[in-house]
């Protein structure tokens, strides 16, 4: 039986020095989405049910296109950060790294596809 102090047990483990950055990234994206989502919903709601030509004309203007692109990018970044926390809490070992890499690729890929579709619609 080893009688170790708390400090002795923690020696060598150290800090990953990424926790504060991850925490603030989650908070910043949360606040950004708090503003972007209602703006996007009001903007998108005004053309909901419209024909293709109306939607095309609407997203050809800069404000709706930029708002939709920002919402997509920030939303998928927030999703990626949140899912990373979920994986770190419940999955361990090699699967943890594999799932984090896979989810990062999936979320950035989905954001890229969304922005590409929006750019194709707007241009």
CA distance 68 to 36: 9
So where are the chain's domains? 25-122
Can you give the pLDDT of all 123 residues of the chain as single tens digits? 567 777 766 666 656 667 788 899 999 999 999 999 999 999 999 999 999 999 999 999 999 999 999 999 999 999 999 999 999 999 999 999 999 999 999 999 999 999 999 999 988
DSSP 37-92: HHHHHHHHHTTTT--HHHHHHHHTSHHHHHHHHHHHHHHHHHHHHHHHHHHHHH--
Neighbours of 52 (CB within 10 A): 8
The top-level CATH class assigned to 25-122 is: mainly alpha
Query: pTM score, two decimals?
Result: 0.83
């Amino acid at each position: 039986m080893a009688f170790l102090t708390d400090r002795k047990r923690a020696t060598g483990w150290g800090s990953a020095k990424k926790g504060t950055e991850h925490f603030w990234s989650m908070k910043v994206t949360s606040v950004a989405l708090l503003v972007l989502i209602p703006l996007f919903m009001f903007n998108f709601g005004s053309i909901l049910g419209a024909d293709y030509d109306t939607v095309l004309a609407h997203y050809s203007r800069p404000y709706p296109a930029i708002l939709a692109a920002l919402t997509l990018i920030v939303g998928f970044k927030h999703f990626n950060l949140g899912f990373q926390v979920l994986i770190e809490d419940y999955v361990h070992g090699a699967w943890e790294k594999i799932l984090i890499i896979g989810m990062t690729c999936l979320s950035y890929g989905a954001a890229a596809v969304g922005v590409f579709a929006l750019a194709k619609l707007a241009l």
